[in-house]
Structure formats: C-alpha cells, structure tokens
Chain A
C-alpha cells in the first residue's frame, strides 16, 4: 500500500508575524494550533521552522537558541544543554537518533506563515 500525500489547502497556514519582525539569525516562538513552533530567519534570508520543545532539556526553549552552521548546514543550539539541531532536518548533531519536528514555513503577502500539516 502506498500512502497518498495530499497537498494541504491554503487555510492550514498559520500567521506567525510580518517578515520584518524577524531579526536575522534569531528565532521567535509561535503558537500554531496549540503547538509551539520555533521560527528562524537566517542571515541568508532563508526561513526555518522546528518544534520549540527541547527533547533533552525538556522545556520549550529552542526558539531562544543561537543560530549557526555546521559546514553549510544551518543549525540551532538549545540554550539549556547546548545540543545542536539541523534547521533543515531537525536532526540532533550530538544524538542523531533524536530530531526536532520540522514544519513548512513560507512568506505570504509579507507575512511569515507556518503549516502544521
């Protein structure tokens, strides 16, 4: 059996904030349908969204971490115990079996939006 992927309708995108509100290389946290999502804008103007919950520190803090890179891959470091996670895949560099959830993120009419689908 193959599962059919369904493209999400426009209405599942949730507003985060105007793009101008995001500082380069800094994160914010958004409530998306009751889930906390950490949204980052890197200095290269790319947007990333991952779950805000730090699975090691067990607290909602990822959005407050420092942004950086490993090679060419963008990453964020948790402010609690300094685990680092890929912003592209959510994978933890120190413990590859653990990963943050990754969310779709886009800019629509100047507004940053996240999809929880």
Chain B
C-alpha cells in the first residue's frame, strides 16, 4: 500500500478522489488529503448561491463522508500543508503533523489577486473566494450605515460579487480597468450591451477606470474609492475581484519549477519537475498556461488518476467555453472572441439589438464552414450546439447567420442526431454523446434525472442540460419508446401540452378534445386532469356544468372529501385561519346537529367528518346561511393561506400577516391547479406559520415582504426557495399572480410546485427571468389570466345549492332517495364518532348488512 498526499481540498482535489474511487485505485493507494479551509471540498462555482438561500452544507461535494473514509481516504480539514521535504518525501502541516508520501498532488488552487492600491488592507475591504469570505461579507453588510458597496473588477468574478452586494441590499458600483465588462470573455460590442443590461439591473458601471486609492472614513473603515478620472465612489464596503493568481508558494519553497508568470510547471502528465509530485487545477501551469476554470482542472485530475494507475494519459489545451448567468444576464463565450486571436482569414458575423439587450457574434472561417468562436450576450440559447460546432462534432449550417438572427435556427433544429458520437456534451465531466447513449441503453434510462445521476452530465455548470435532454429524447424516439410524460393511453400529450392545446384551440369539451387529439374514452387519469385544465382556463363556469360533471372525480363531483368508509368530510373556508366566535359556534352547532366528527386541520381550519352524500346539501345550506363558503379542500386548487397573528398582537411581528394572508387566500380561492396549493404568511422571520414549507410562503421583513416558492412538507420535505425580497404588497401580488399561473400552465398532472421546480433545469434564476424579467414575454398574459380567475370566482357550493338539478344528485340511492346508506356505521370514541372497523360492523349500528361475495 502506497501513500498519496493531496495538498488542498477543493473541487479539483475532490474530483481526483472521486476518479480514483471510480477507477478502484483506493485499493492500492492510501490517500491523505489536507485542506486549509475548515470545511471539506465544496462547490466553489456556486459560492454566490450562499447569498441567496443556500447554506454552506448545501454546497458540500462529498455527500457520503462515511463511505469516503471507509474507502481509505483520510481527509483533514483546517490544517494546511506548510512545507514539503522532497528528499525525505514528507509533508508537514500547520498543526505539526508530518506524513510520508510515495506521491504527492498539489491542488492548492489560486488566491484572489489584490492590486497594489493603497487602502486594500482597510476594514471593510474583502476578497471573494471562500465560504469564510462570504460570511465576512454578510456580517459587514449588516453593520449599520453600510448601504453602498463597490466591486473592483468587472470580470466574471466581479459581476458575481456585484450580484452578491445587491442581494445584501447595497447600492453597488462596479469599477473595471478595461474599457468593457468581462474583457476576457466578450468583445467590445458585447461589452456595450452587457454594460447596458447590468446597469439596468442596479449597479453603476465604471469602465476604463482605475482605482487609485481606497479611502478610509473617520472611523478608519473603508468609505470611498478614488478613481483615475478624478471621480469618487462612496462605498462602505469594497470587494476586490480583480482576478486570481496560482497558489504556488509551497511549490516555490520546495524548489519546484515555477512559470515566469506563476503556476507550478507540469508536463503533459501533470508531473512537476519532481517526478513524485503532481500539480493539478488552478495552481498548475499546464500546456503552456494556467487554467482558471474547473473543467480543465477536472481533466488534470483524471490525468493524474490515470498516471497513478500506471497509464499514460495526457492533458491537452482545452477550449475555455463558458456560459454563465451574471446578475440575471446570460453571457456565453466560445473559442476565439477577440480579433487578435482569430485564425487568419476569419470573418465575423454580428447581430446586435441594444433595445432588447441582445448581442451575438460568430467567428467563422472564410468559407463559412468552420466555427472559430462565438459571443452571446443577453440570450445564450444555442450555446450547446455552438460548442459542438467549434469542436467540429456538429456541422455548421449552410446559412450560419440563422444561428444568431431572431427567430432563426438556434441549432436546436439541426438536431442531436447529427452529433458525432465522440462529441463532448458535458465538458465539466467530460461526458460524450456516446457515453450518454450507452447509459440510456435503448430505454434502460427514460428520465433526465436518472441520466444525470448515471453519467454526471449536466451536474457541473448545467449549461449542457438542454442538449442532454435532447440526446435522451432522440435516443428514446429511436428506440420507439413512448415518452414518459404522456398523460395515459388516451392522450400522448403531457399535461402542459394539453393545457396549451385547450388554451390555443379554444376546446371546450372533453369529447371534442378526445376526438381531435386523443382516442378511446378517457379514464380516471386524463378526465380529472382535463377537468382541471378547463377549470383553470375558465372554460366551465361551474365544475359540474353539463358534460364536465363526468370528468370530476368523486371529491369534485360531490364538492366534499371522500373518506375510507365512503362518507365525506366538509371544510368551509376560514381565510388566513381567522374566525369570529359566532362562526366558530355555527361550525360546532352544525357538527353537533348532523353528528359529525370535528378536527382542526393543519391549514388552520375545521374539518367536519362523517357526512353522507344525502346530508351534504343541508349541511352546506346551514354553513352558507352563516356566511361560510366552499374551502375547496376537495379540489386540486388553492387550499389555505396559513398565518401567524403578526404585528397586530405579537410583540415580535413586524408586518400584519393576517390581513395579507386573508387577502391572498381570497384572491386565489377556487384556483384549480395541477395539484393542491398551500400558502402561508409569517409576520416576522421566526416564521411561525411555516411559510418555508409551502408552495408559496410570504415572510415579513422590516422593509416589506419576502416571497419564497416551491416548498413542501409531506413525504419529501423541501424548504422553499427565496424568490424575491422586500417587496411591497402590490409587487408581491403581481409576482404571486405570475408564479401561480405559470405553475398552472406548465406543471405535470398531480405535480406539486416542489416537484415541478426540481424538474426545471434553470432553477430559481430561470423562474426569476421568466416571472420578473419577463424573458418569455408572457407576464401580461399570466396576469390577465389570473385577473379573469379573480373576477369570475363564485362559491361552488352556493351555486350548487341554487341549481335544483345539481342538488338532486346528492342521494345515496337513486331509486330510494330517502333511504339512509346502511353500510355507513359509526362507533363512539372520545365523545365523537368514528367509522366502525370491519369486526365492529356486526356489533353496532341499527342495521346489520352482511356482504356476500
């Protein structure tokens, strides 16, 4: 057994260990990993999500620490290697530990470059690379008086830092020395569009400006920046994001060869000038340069794993294609983007629409058959296809301009079938089309989630997710496998497709929909799903009107919830959980008079159990006379909006949560959806109404309301994701209108918001782009659809009681309307009724019915 010491525990080191485990190298190598940070490897690329709603633990890469340790890997966090004795082949750590190695891997990463500007050491000046940096930034931003921030650096990292400052509630300025933002990734034209998009989102942008000094205020902390053009930028907090430098100090003092501009020099096998020491990731100078992205680092880790296994894998220069979303703006850069790096004779094709904030450029060979580079700003669709064209694994279309013109061919229609098998689909994990196809195996895998788990494709940056989905669908089609999102044997469409068909073709009956787009008679799956679509779109004015009655399952048909013994329960609406004593008394009287069992629900209302169908109209007549209305507990619809007492009574409350909860519940009452919808409003951050496990949750802040979406309790609990903060009431309702209607439009049948959210590849950022930035241009439609719902709402029970023909349906026996169902038998328990168990049915009740089968 030989010993491998890994110096550093970041993403690349983690990938090395994973690769070694996958290649069964841990049987031959004992591995000791030393990390300087107090936590194990985490997803540093996703660091900015810590400013949204994720916790550091969410970013942890090693999900099964016990298994890692059992496989013979010792991971030491919070203890940096401080020296290497190459003659003795030992490393020494800060805590004084000494470990002998047979081979060592340097994976020390990089450190933030801090330009030599006076004042970078002032309190309130931060760098942005680690979880600890994030914690320090958050703590500083919370100090009183810190309401403006500035970022030194307008590159990728700088814009991420700007986003972080904005999310901390600071007015933010970005200062970039180069004449444009993201100078490495985009050209001048793209930079101009990018600056416009970024400024529109809040930050002030200063390009072509050098920071001459970071100036302290009277308290000795940072107060402003002085720029080369003489202007000043007020800032109670500064983040330096001016680039990174390889961490080669350890290698330097160990006498290893270092490149002129930094970085541990390695050969194609990632070996340093000492054959027993490798270097990988951002600290390594490989193939003639250093590499500041994670994908090349992963490739180096795989090369070292292969070398440790006795192989001869080599690392070659890779294309630094990047696609990111910064401040909600899509930016992609592929291959050569600056004219200085274009091959001779290359031609540029540019499309710019500054009004809508889109800039696209292609760099092509003179004959237009080869792609050398591309820049996409504001709209990065087609990124995956362009990467393939750059690699030569997908042909450039005959009219390449169609790739960037609006309404043109974004590469999707070229189709993944034209992709070569060796085409790398996921560059983060090096997954080729052939590897995906092998995993799909003609249908062994039918779901995108399974495919991602099996191949790791689209689990890195996620930029390839659409292409991975295309490959899956193409493979399943080729294998003749039915799509798994088909509704049932009667419709080959998904619910979303049926929704769009009904909406766009104006179909108003199930028979018509079946005749035009389905076959057979329908079933218990498609009938209620279509009924829900009709109800959501307001096609039926009442769920029991005409033919629609035959589509409703029994709950919707009797406007009550069926229970195990065939009786029903009744739940009147109690908006926000607030109820006056008189109405509470009526509930008690009705329950007593009809002999019903009563229980308080989790949604802050009262459920009355044990009603026979023939009792329902009389029960509801009493409830409606007392001012109650349907609670829609029987429907896939908005259920309740739970609330705490809020600032009205509670000494901690900062907003009136009860009033808002009532307003929201009354606004969306009766909204039919793919599944039930539960909401909550909390009057302060303590969240006593459990808003973070609701489909939508509203939590009061000092400045307004924060909106959380897609949470769930139940079988698979999911904490809701923060959608937007500090909203005023009107904006909150606008976002809720859009969110709920978008869910209604696009979710699968019986899919709660949490599941729906998990399936959407773009996550919360995509939702924000669609519902806040109106990327799809549908927000006004969504709002209009919700207005129509709000305006047309009426209580279904009131309407049912007014209609003699619907009321006549509520009989147990059509040929004996006055007969009481003898199968319904109750026994007493704790002063109320409960259904008799089978063995009790013979002992109690006035009628004994023996069922012979």
**Residues of chain A at the chain B interface (Cβ within 8 Å):** 14-17, 21, 23-26, 28-31, 34, 36, 39, 42-44, 53, 55, 57-61, 64-72, 74-75, 77, 79-80, 82, 84, 101
11 additional contacts (CB under 8 A) given A67-B521, A79-B554? A31-B813, A42-B521, A43-B511, A43-B521, A53-B853, A68-B490, A68-B526, A68-B527, A69-B523, A70-B489, A101-B853
Least distance between B6 CB and chain A CB atoms (Å): 54
**Does the CB pair B566–A66 fall under 8 Å?**
no
**A28–B549 Cα gap in the complex (Å)?**
13
Binds A, one of B77-85, B691-699, B713-721, B815-823: B815-823
Closest chain A residue to B555 by CB distance? A79
**Does the CB pair B562–A64 fall under 8 Å?**
yes
**A42–B527 Cα gap in the complex (Å)?**
14
Closest chain B residue to A63 by CB distance? B814
Chain B residues whose C-beta falls within 8 Å of the C-beta of A79 in the assembled complex: 553-555, 562
**Does the CB pair A31–B522 fall under 8 Å?**
no
Closest chain A residue to B488 by CB distance? A68
**Does the CB pair B524–A66 fall under 8 Å?**
yes
CB<8 Å pairs between A and B, sample of 5? A21-B814, A25-B522, A26-B549, A30-B816, A68-B521
Least distance between B546 CB and chain A CB atoms (Å): 9
Chain A residues whose C-beta falls within 8 Å of the C-beta of B526 in the assembled complex: 68
| A17, A34, A61, A75 — most chain B CB neighbours (10 Å) | A61
**Does the CB pair A65–B554 fall under 8 Å?**
yes
**A106–B29 Cα gap in the complex (Å)?**
81
Chain B residues whose C-beta falls within 8 Å of the C-beta of A58 in the assembled complex: 838
Chain A residues whose C-beta falls within 8 Å of the C-beta of B524 in the assembled complex: 65-66, 68, 77, 82, 84
**A72–B527 Cα gap in the complex (Å)?**
17
**A36–B813 Cα gap in the complex (Å)?**
8
Closest chain A residue to B522 by CB distance? A68
Q: Could you say which of B522, B558, B814 contacts A69, with CB atoms under 8 Å apart? A: B522
Quick one: CB contact mask for B527-553 with A, threshold 8 Å, 1 for yes?
110000000000000000001011101
Chain A residues whose C-beta falls within 8 Å of the C-beta of B672 in the assembled complex: none
Chain A residues whose C-beta falls within 8 Å of the C-beta of B523 in the assembled complex: 66, 68-70, 75, 77, 84
**Does the CB pair A30–B853 fall under 8 Å?**
no
Chain A residues whose C-beta falls within 8 Å of the C-beta of B557 in the assembled complex: 26, 64
Least distance between A24 CB and chain B CB atoms (Å): 6
B63 interface residue per 8 A CB criterion: no
Chain A residues whose C-beta falls within 8 Å of the C-beta of B58 in the assembled complex: none
Chain A residues whose C-beta falls within 8 Å of the C-beta of B527 in the assembled complex: 66, 68
**A13–B595 Cα gap in the complex (Å)?**
36
Chain B residues whose C-beta falls within 8 Å of the C-beta of A53 in the assembled complex: 823, 851, 853
**Does the CB pair A16–B564 fall under 8 Å?**
no
Closest chain A residue to B849 by CB distance? A34
Known: A17-B814, A26-B549, A29-B814. A57 touches B564 (CB 8 A): yes
**Does the CB pair A24–B521 fall under 8 Å?**
no
**A81–B26 Cα gap in the complex (Å)?**
50
**A68–B522 Cα gap in the complex (Å)?**
5
**A53–B511 Cα gap in the complex (Å)?**
29
Least distance between B463 CB and chain A CB atoms (Å): 41
B520 interface residue per 8 A CB criterion: yes
Quick one: CB contact mask for B794-832 with A, threshold 8 Å, 1 for yes?
000000000000000000111110010101000000000
**A79–B553 Cα gap in the complex (Å)?**
7
Least distance between B616 CB and chain A CB atoms (Å): 12
Closest chain B residue to A21 by CB distance? B814
Q: Could you say which of A21, A29, A77, A84 contacts B813, with CB atoms under 8 Å apart? A: A29
Closest chain B residue to A52 by CB distance? B823
**A34–B849 Cα gap in the complex (Å)?**
9
Chain A residues whose C-beta falls within 8 Å of the C-beta of B838 in the assembled complex: 58
B565 interface residue per 8 A CB criterion: yes
Least distance between B419 CB and chain A CB atoms (Å): 39
Least distance between B838 CB and chain A CB atoms (Å): 6
Closest chain B residue to A28 by CB distance? B814
**Does the CB pair B553–A66 fall under 8 Å?**
yes
Closest chain B residue to A99 by CB distance? B853
Chain A residues whose C-beta falls within 8 Å of the C-beta of B565 in the assembled complex: 59
Chain B residues whose C-beta falls within 8 Å of the C-beta of A59 in the assembled complex: 564-566, 823
Least distance between A76 CB and chain B CB atoms (Å): 8
Known: A26-B550, A79-B554. A61 touches B562 (CB 8 A): yes
**A42–B851 Cα gap in the complex (Å)?**
27
Chain B residues whose C-beta falls within 8 Å of the C-beta of A77 in the assembled complex: 523-524
Chain B residues whose C-beta falls within 8 Å of the C-beta of A17 in the assembled complex: 814-815
**A3–B814 Cα gap in the complex (Å)?**
35
**A101–B851 Cα gap in the complex (Å)?**
12
**Does the CB pair A80–B562 fall under 8 Å?**
yes
Closest chain A residue to B815 by CB distance? A30
Chain A residues whose C-beta falls within 8 Å of the C-beta of B520 in the assembled complex: 68-69, 71-72
**A44–B555 Cα gap in the complex (Å)?**
25
**A36–B547 Cα gap in the complex (Å)?**
26
Chain A residues whose C-beta falls within 8 Å of the C-beta of B549 in the assembled complex: 23, 26
